[in-house]
Amino acid sequence: MNKYKNQYHSLVSSSKWSTMVRKGSTKLTLFFIIFLSLIAFGIFVPVFALLPSLSSQSLHHHQQQLLPATKKNHGYARKFEISDDKFWKDGQPFQIIGGDLHYFRVLPEYWEDRLLRAKALGLNTIQTYVPWNLHEPRAGTLDFEGIADLVSFLKLSQRLGILVMLRAGPYICAEWDLGGFPPWLLAINPAPRLRSSDPAFLQLVERWWGSLLPKVAPLLYGNGGPIIMVQIENEFGSYGDDKAYLHHLVSLARKHLGDDVILYTTDGGSRETLEKGTIRGDAVFSAVDFTTGDNPWPIFELQKQFNAPGKSPPLSSEFYTGWLTHWGEKNAQTSADFTAAALKNILERNGSAVLYMAHGGTNFGFYNGANTGSDESDYKPDLTSYDYDAPIGESGDVNNAKFKALRRVVEQYSSVSLPAVPSDNEKKAYGSIHVTKTGNLFELISYFDVVESDNPISMESTGQMFGFLLYVTEYTAKDNGGESIVSIPKVHDRAQVFISCPSEDGHGKPTYVGTLERWSNQPLTLPNTKCLSNISLLVLVENMGRLNYGPYIFDRKGILSPVYLDGRILRKWKMYLVPIINLNESPKINPIIRAANSGVITMSAHRRLKPKSGNASKEPAFYAGYFYISKEDIIKDTFISLTGWGKGIVTINNFNIGRFWPLKGPQCNLYVPAPVLQNGKNVVVIFELESPNPELVVQLVDQPEFTCGPRKNVHQL
């Protein structure tokens, strides 16, 4: 997306990395019985849960044979091309009326549902990004299964008669963590320069595209598949002007995809961004995007200057139907009539447009992105919801003014009759769930892998790519018993600070001191504490989503500077990797999971959980509860309301629904797709960072809500 583009003028360099020593913590502790219930609920796994376990159904029945490449239409071979400033499909003029719909933001069980709704909107083409980090979560470990099964998504689009514009990256933006780059790139030393012709970076891209592009090559339109165009990079003109980098990507794409497929770039509709982000000549088609409501035709005329003569069909490859929302902002909404009128202005003169978004979906797990303002400390993380005020809502709803208004416009220019509009999927309010506290984070750290270093190191350097990292060190109390000041000049993104004073039995419960935030970082005063030995300082850092746009995209997480106590640098750190599930990665066995599966102790897991009330200390803790769906009932979508809770993440049936932060808002309820649920018992586990709802209750309701927290003004289109 071409956002905040005027605020960025330079790149930042990366810092050096310190070395580390990894130690695996495998021993079982005296807390074993206390936390078995937590283990049974499945909140802790060493890595991430695979999505296919959500349903026994597969997508194999969607994988139909592709049409033969030799099929003729009026004497023309099956071909998609550009000439006379038009798109041509099988020898006939073709107007792209498309929309972005990202397979990685929708459960595979719902891909067909959302594609059919897009088709009912009148779209003949779907545009989707390919996030490198989803498909290669660890260096050399590729994943094209479950929600990452790109080939099945493309074949399903083919079966439904929908064309595809594939945005292959390697950078995608997309309000997606690190703009789609895998975070392990940030752990490489020396650091590769992302989005550049740095040979170290290009070598990694070559390896990635060497795996990706051969998978999609058989699905190109000329080979009988649905892919009519493949995008190179994304809005590079808003970032840099490294033409050698772009040319290398083109050569690499041609190597794997051949010379016939249309390669394209997308850049903001200004001369400056087009000068920097396009490749002159006829090797690559240059598309544009611009603010909805801008007069498109002068921009399309400018677009012609960056394409070869006769090779510039007017195309807005990101026609914004809504906008993104950050935590703490008012939920972004745009006028249905205004948006429809702007689309009509393009289509009525035979221009082409791709709606961004047609259907937004959800940032499940920890994959949401973030933006910055004037500097990298002006940090703005995105919501879990990626509804985007798109015509097809987050849960697939189409009974809304924007869908109807856009469909009326599309219907006037579509070359075929539009399908009937499906009804909205039914939602169900499953009611209240009473949860029980199963343990706090600090009592579980002996289960975690630990890394030791003289100085704090980044999350990526420890191997903890997402979620949370707990930093622990010790210091000596002042002889005079006075207060101390702790400061962490650079922390990404949010750090909760605790101190612990060991008691006579060797244990001491950590006491909350305060929170340091990337966007509001002030030193904290540590209270006067008398201890029998050194005082432990514990800093729990949350990675709230890496930047996906702008010059500060090299966005490492964790403590990125020395930690000072009264001006003195603290050393000898232990970093504990908190293993909470994410969207996709193969699990491995560890003693905790083995113990949970062995049935050695099951009483805690099977007891009836009863509600509790009363004030709880401000500590990171886990809460769990059950709800049941009758075996006779059809499972339906729902929303989990975290109103009254603080901040954290929620999982259902071992699937990471995403982050909640109703104190900040605006999102109150998280979308829970039906495929996550099951007939019988459903297990909800909440990792609450601060204070839980006093009644220890969550609600399953039948609608979204975006009215929580203090709200600020936000850019409205």
Tally of helices (H runs) and strands (E runs) in the chain: 13, 37
Is the pLDDT confidence value at 299 over 90?
yes
Which range (326-330, 576-580, 589-593) has the least confidence? 589-593
Is the pLDDT confidence value at 58 over 80?
no
585 a catalytic residue: no
Confidence of residue 235 (pLDDT cuts 50, 70, 90): very high
Mean pLDDT of 288-314: 97
pLDDT in tens, 398-407: 999 999 999 9
- 3-state class of 113 per DSSP? helix
Instruction: Name the residue with higher pLDDT: 532 or 569.
Output: 569
Mean pLDDT of 56-81: 53
Quote the percentage of the chain above a pLDDT of 70: 83
- Whole-Å CA distances, 609 to 79, 363, 434, 647, 701: 62, 30, 7, 22, 21
Confidence of residue 483 (pLDDT cuts 50, 70, 90): confident
Predicted confidence at residue 528, as pLDDT, reads 85
Instruction: Name the residue with higher pLDDT: 622 or 588.
Output: 622
Predicted confidence at residue 473, as pLDDT, reads 98
Q: 639: how many CB neighbours lie within 10 A of its CB? A: 25
Is the pLDDT confidence value at 24 over 80?
no
Confidence of residue 374 (pLDDT cuts 50, 70, 90): confident
Is the pLDDT confidence value at 457 over 70?
yes
pTM, two decimal places: 0.89
329 a catalytic residue: no
Active-site residue (options: 109, 175, 233, 318): 318
Helices 150-159 & 111-120 angle (0-180, nearest 10): 40
Is the pLDDT confidence value at 381 over 60?
yes
Confidence of residue 464 (pLDDT cuts 50, 70, 90): very high
3-state helix, strand, coil in the chain (%, to 5): 25, 25, 50
Predicted confidence at residue 711, as pLDDT, reads 55
First-last CA distance in the chain: 14
Helices 243-257 & 199-216 angle (0-180, nearest 10): 30
Confidence of residue 612 (pLDDT cuts 50, 70, 90): very low
Confidence of residue 506 (pLDDT cuts 50, 70, 90): low
Predicted confidence at residue 471, as pLDDT, reads 98
Please name each of the domains of the chain with its CATH number: 32-62+426-447+579-717 (2.60.120), 78-323+330-356+396-413 (3.20.20.80), 449-578 (2.60.120.260)
Mean pLDDT of 62-87: 67
Is the pLDDT confidence value at 41 over 60?
no
Predicted confidence at residue 270, as pLDDT, reads 98
Is the pLDDT confidence value at 30 over 80?
no
Mean pLDDT of 34-41: 46
Is the pLDDT confidence value at 617 over 80?
no
Contacts of 74 (CB under 8 A, 6+ apart): 90, 91, 92
DSSP lists the bridge partners of residue 316 as 288, 353
Strands of the 494-500 sheet, one edge to the other: 21-23, 450-453, 573-578, 468-475, 535-542, 494-500, 511-517
Is the pLDDT confidence value at 460 over 50?
yes
Confidence of residue 3 (pLDDT cuts 50, 70, 90): very low
Predicted confidence at residue 15, as pLDDT, reads 36
Question: Running DSSP on this structure, what letter comes out for residue 422?
Answer: P
Predicted confidence at residue 502, as pLDDT, reads 76
Mean pLDDT of 28-41: 42
Predicted confidence at residue 710, as pLDDT, reads 81
Mean pLDDT of 456-477: 96
Question: Running DSSP on this structure, what letter comes out for residue 703?
Answer: S
Is the pLDDT confidence value at 233 over 50?
yes
Confidence of residue 663 (pLDDT cuts 50, 70, 90): very high
Mean pLDDT of 605-621: 52
Quote the percentage of the chain above a pLDDT of 90: 78
Is the pLDDT confidence value at 315 over 70?
yes
Confidence of residue 610 (pLDDT cuts 50, 70, 90): very low
Predicted confidence at residue 51, as pLDDT, reads 40
Is the pLDDT confidence value at 409 over 50?
yes
Confidence of residue 478 (pLDDT cuts 50, 70, 90): confident
Active-site residue (options: 81, 109, 175, 235): 235
Which range (406-420, 601-615, 686-700) has the least confidence? 601-615
- Whole-Å CA distances, 266 to 262, 269, 353: 13, 9, 12
Is the pLDDT confidence value at 158 over 70?
yes
Mean pLDDT of 548-561: 97
Distance in angstroms (rounded) separating the CA atoms of residues 153 and 108:
8
What is the chain's mean pLDDT, rounded? 87
